[in-house]
Amino acid sequence: MGSSERSGEPISSYSPSFVISGAGGHAGLTPRWDQVDSRRLIALARRVYFKHLTTNGYHLDPFGVVVNSDNDDGRVVFETPTLLPEEQFISAELIGVRLKRAKSPRERQKGGSL
């Protein structure tokens, strides 16, 4: 029986024994542009995103792309990612992803008459 079970207090009432800097927040999501080759990183993110489109289609709006600079690979993410030390997050806006937006009824009428 653990100490929390003996005391009758729920485990959630305890504070963590240590904190991981940047975990659970948006602090570490933007790459340090002075420490990376931005042209290469954004090109890699675009390549990963377009590979995702060709294999999975265009169903959901991505949050961005996580790229691994060690092996030139990556993954498309749809929520805030947790990054490994060798990974960088590139937002959808930086790779030129145009998020799907619902057309207004007026725009749909114009499009249908062309």
Domain span at 79: 37-97
pLDDT at 44: 93
pLDDT, tens only, 5-38? 455 555 555 666 766 655 554 545 777 777 888 8
pLDDT single digits (tens) 85-104 = 889 999 988 888 765 544 45
Which of the four pLDDT bands, split at 50, 70 and 90, describes residue 46? very high
Q: How many CB atoms lie within 10 A of CB 9?
A: 11
Instruction: Specify if 60 maps to a domain.
Output: yes
Q: Is 111 among the domain residues?
A: no
Residue 27 belongs to a domain: no
- pLDDT-based confidence at residue 108 (cuts at 50, 70, 90): very low
Domains in the chain, number: 1
* Cα–Cα distance measured from residue 56 to residue 72, given in angstroms and rounded to the nearest whole number: 20
> Could you tell me if residue 43 is inside a domain?
yes
Is residue 54 over pLDDT 70? yes
The answer to the question of residue 61 being in a domain is yes
7 lies in a domain? no
CA 13 → CA 22, 24, 44, distances in Å? 22, 19, 43
User: Is residue 24, in this structure, part of any structural domain at all?
Assistant: no
Does residue 62 surpass a pLDDT of 80? yes
pLDDT in tens, 69-82: 789 899 999 999 98
Q: Is residue 80 part of a domain?
A: yes
Q: Stretch 44-72: mean pLDDT, rounded?
A: 88
Tell me, what's the pLDDT at 102?
Answer: 44
- Structure letter (DSSP) for residue 79: S
In degrees and rounded to multiples of 5, residue 92 shows phi and psi of -60, -35
